[in-house]
Amino acid sequence: MSEPNWSDLFRLLSGMARLFQSCSTEEELFDVADWYIPRMFPDVSGAIHLFADADARARSFTWGESEAIASPPDMDACEALAKGQPLLIAPDAPAQGDCAPGTLTVPIIAAKRPLGVLQLASDNAQALEGAQGMAFITAEHMALTVDNIRIRTRLKNLAVKDALTGLFNRRYFDETMNRETQAAKESGDPLCVVMFDIDHFKKLNDTKGHDAGDVALQSVGRFLGATAGENDTPCRYGGEEFFFVMKGSNYEQALAMGETIRSGIAALNITHGEIQVSPIYVSVGVARFPDHGATPDQLAKAADLCLYHAKEHGRNQVVGYETIKK
């Protein structure tokens, strides 16, 4: 193993740190890290593992050929990592927890919160020992940047997310409708909205309690989040009313999504303590831009009119605008 060129290493570190400052997402951060970090540790295999939290998913990238660091370690399975301390295991030493021999694991920590780990692996003990200093500095830069990104994401989510359901809120719905109707007008791409609300929701609150009602709303929110496609935006409009903005979906696809929502919610098993909350049912309205509404407000009102028609004709059904205009 050759002696490291410290001038080159610190030039790489400086370039990485400078670009980290301009990263607004973890995807951008990983693009930068994926280029710089393997070049900073050319004599070892390595991995960056970031843990999931309420505002970010888990993500990883690796370089080199070591399988020992392909997955993140259980931080609680090793005393050193549980305390937020780095762990170096020589190639001829026994494993500790999930950390194999011939590895260096450096926690990525901000404000005593573990955000992830930087791991290096090599059969050469000298290579691992020599990489420790740069690994510590790199982990500190990662921690600062990841923490800043997640704080900004958390603040943004507080402004546009509904606290109870985790769905986008009415403010974000209005912004999305303005943006997507304008985009659809310019591109000619299809755009539909699906609106629904929970049938007899007041009765549910009155008979089973408001806590049970909140559990029902949370269950609907989780279902919508899991059902939404890449171009769908599920929103809680207010109370028990919800919107599904479907960019790139035609009227028939929106009707099918309405039925997926109706039948899927009806099939949910929802309990609150010993209280059986489900089944719950929804009435659904579907409208298409620009035929059923040429502005955001007109499109939302068209879907609302369909929902009202569903309520008036038995509830627990999907009604499209083409049906009521006949």
Question: DSSP readout, 109-167?
Answer: EETTEEEEEEEEE-S-HHHHHHHHHHHHHHHHHHHHHHHHHHHHHHHHHHHHB-TTT-S
* Percentage of residues of the chain with pLDDT beyond 90: 88
Domains of the chain, earliest start first = 6-160 (3.30.450.40), 170-324 (3.30.70.270)
Decide if 94 contacts 82 (C-beta within 8 A). Answer: no
Residue 23 has pLDDT above 90, yes or no: yes
CA distance 19 to 118: 19
* pLDDT tens by residue, 114-138: 999 999 999 999 999 999 999 999 9
pLDDT for the residue 3: 60
pLDDT for the residue 256: 97
* pLDDT tens by residue, 67-101: 889 999 999 988 899 899 999 999 999 999 889 99
Is 240 an annotated catalytic residue?
A: yes
* pLDDT tens by residue, 270-317: 999 999 999 999 999 999 999 999 999 999 999 999 999 999 999 999
Decide if 162 contacts 221 (C-beta within 8 A). Answer: yes
pLDDT for the residue 2: 54
Exposed e or buried b per residue across 259-280, where buried means at least 16 C-beta atoms within 10 angstroms of its C-beta: ebbbeebeeeebebeeeebbeb
Catalytic hit among 26, 230, 240, 241: 240
